[in-house]
């Protein structure tokens, strides 16, 4: 059950980050961006001592991580 929730949060975060950054992708790309963003965002939030409370907090952290991933990807390419 937790993996399904994680994937749904990743999908929402990837879609939000792509929309904010002005990218339109397929649903699988949104999912990949969101899952990677959730991992990156959770790692960075843990380093600076920020806890994500509830689903909304998790989506926000994952979205910020996904935005960071998109930004870095654009800088590399």
pLDDT tens readout for residues 59-68: 899 999 999 9
Quickly count: other Cβ atoms within 10 Å of residue 76's Cβ.
Answer: 6
pTM, full prediction:
0.86
Q: Please tell me the distance from the alpha carbon of residue 25 to that of residue 9, in angstroms, as a whole number.
A: 17
pLDDT tens readout for residues 19-69: 888 877 777 888 888 889 889 998 999 899 887 778 898 889 999 999 998
pLDDT of residue 1: 57
């Amino acid at each position: 059950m937790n993996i399904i929730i994680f994937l749904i949060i990743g999908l929402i975060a990837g879609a939000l980050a792509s929309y904010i950054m002005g990218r339109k992708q397929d649903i699988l790309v949104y999912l990949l961006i969101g899952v990677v963003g959730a991992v990156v965002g959770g790692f960075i939030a843990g380093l600076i001592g920020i806890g994500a409370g509830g689903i909304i907090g998790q989506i926000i952290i994952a979205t910020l991580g996904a935005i960071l991933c998109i930004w870095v990807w654009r800088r590399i390419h």
